[in-house]
Structures are given as structure tokens and as C-alpha cells.
Chain A
Amino acid sequence: MKGAARGTTILLGVIAALLLLTLLSFGASYLELPAGLEVVVALGIASVKVTLVMLFFMELRDHRGGVRFVALTGPLFVMTLVLLMLADVWTR
């Protein structure tokens, strides 16, 4: 039961962090940052939030091997796709 209570506390900590990061992202959008920096901040915070969700809510931190490998392929391939397509636009 001790482990269960700890698990519940961790989940509470994660949702608190996620809500705080959401507030941070919302606030940053009103700062009138330069366009490039705004994208980096907004997507950087989003990436941290997604990492938290995947590690704790989706329990990737408890799994090894195949599951982690498969879980990483999706985001990795998407990043590759986005970068290659942007490289095409930027070098026209």
C-alpha cells in the first residue's frame, strides 16, 4: 500500500507540473517574443509536457526494451519528416 500511495503522490506532482507549464506557456504567448524565440519557447514547453505525460502517465519510465524503442520511433520519425520538409522550403 506504501508503493501505491507513493504512485499517487507522483501522479499528483506530475499534474501540478503540467498545469504550471501550461500557465507558463500561456503567459509566454503574451510576451511579444521575436517569432523564432516564440516558437522555441512554445514547442520547448510542449515537449517537456509530452515527456512528462509519456514517462509518468504512460509509464514509459517503468518499461524497458521493445516498448521504449517503439515509443521513441514515432516522435523520432515525425521530427525527421518535419526537418526534411522544412529543409526543402528553406533552401528553395
Chain B
Amino acid sequence: MSERASVEDAPFEAHFESLERQREAARLGMWVFLASEILLFGALIALYATSRAEHAAGFAEGVRHADVIAGSVNTVVLLVSSYLVARAVHALRDDQPRLAAGLTGGTVLLGAVFLAIKSYEYVHHLSEGAGPAGRGALYLEHPVPGLASYFNLYWLTTGLHAFHVLVGMSVLAVLGIAVARRRFGAAHAHRLEMGALYWHLVDVVWIFLWPLYYLMK
């Protein structure tokens, strides 16, 4: 449905009193979902904290095998992508759909850059024998208690995060195309806002994963 109506005349679902109420409900629902996602990653971070408390030397050794440059570049990539999608929401609210679609496309592109760098890291870890589930030559060469736990949690947590990046990219790609085709505009900018909120969560999770797995030796 092409949306040409002004913000005030924009249609909304029948079970809401107004478009504003619909926006508020969408926002609250999205935050409840995000809170559940935070708990999912929170459980993995809690597991990291207890494992590290028990095997500090093994985790420090694990961090030494992490590619800090790749991880740091990925941190910048995700931060900038978060900025782009926040700008996209503002642009759509200001009735600039072309700019909003472009910025959303840029966000998706940076998501792809993130995954490419992450894939390069994964290949490197496998080649040095730091595979998941404690499999690989590295654990035999460095028999430090906790090294396998570090990499198990690394693969699990960053893998789950990478899956979220992929989902976020897909959601934003669909929304960006819809904006580019004028399927919705300023009045329904909250639709893009929901996708952007999910993307910011992906960023928030990585902001914590970066020091945990790359910096804290």
C-alpha cells in the first residue's frame, strides 16, 4: 500500500485509538523482546565471568590468541553502522525516504563487512587449531586449564552474535527496500525504528563482547 497521506491522516490498525498509540505499543513490545535478548546474552556473559574467575590464566592465554585488530575494526564498523541507522530513522521522520533508504543500505553493507571480518577470524582460529568444543591442536600445544573454555564460549557467544547480525541485516534490508519503494513513509517511521532498535542491540552486545574476548588479558 503506497503511503501518500500526511502524518496526521496516516492510517493505523483498527484496534488502536490512534497512530501514536500504535507507535507506543510497537516500541514497548520491541523493548520487551530486546530485554529477553539481553537476558540470553547475559546468561552467556555470566558463564564467562564464572569460568574466567576459575581459570584466569587460561582466559588470558585465549585473549592473546584473539585478533585484536580485527575485533577492534569490527567494533568501529558496528558503531558506525548503528549511527547510520539512527540517522536513517531521523531522515525518514523528516520525510526524506531516499536518504533513509540509502543510510539503511549503508548499515546493511557494514553488517556484511562485520561478518566478512568475523569469518576471516574464524578461519584463522581453525587454522591455528583453536576449534570449538575443545577440538584442535592448540589445546595440546598450550595445555593451560581454561583455554578450551575460553574458545568454547568465544565460538558460542560470537557465533550467536553473528547470527543476530545476519537477522538484523535481513530485517533492515527488507525495511530499506520498503522505504525506497515508498511502501511507508514519515507517518510510519516507527517500522524502521523497530528494525533500528534491533540493530542497536546487536551493537550493544558487541560493545561488551569486544573487551571480554579481545582486550582483557
Contact = CB atoms under 8 A, between A and B. Distances in A.
Contact of B211 (A11, A18, A25, A67): A25
Given A70-B32, A75-B38, A85-B50, A25 B215 contact: yes
Interface in B54-93: 54, 56, 68, 72, 75-76, 79-80, 82-83, 85-87, 90, 93
Given A29-B217, A54-B204, A74 B38 contact: yes
B216 interface: yes
Contact of A46 (B50, B72, B207): B207
A32 B203 CA distance: 27
Which size class do A's interface residues fall under? Answer: 35 or more
Query: 8 closest Cβ contacts across the A-B interface?
Result: A78-B42, A74-B38, A42-B211, A74-B35, A29-B215, A15-B83, A57-B86, A70-B31
24 contacts: A1-B94, A4-B90, A15-B83, A19-B76, A22-B72, A22-B79, A25-B210, A26-B72, A26-B215, A29-B68, A29-B214, A29-B216, A43-B211, A50-B204, A57-B82, A73-B35, A74-B34, A74-B35, A74-B37, A75-B42, A78-B39, A78-B46, A82-B45, A86-B53
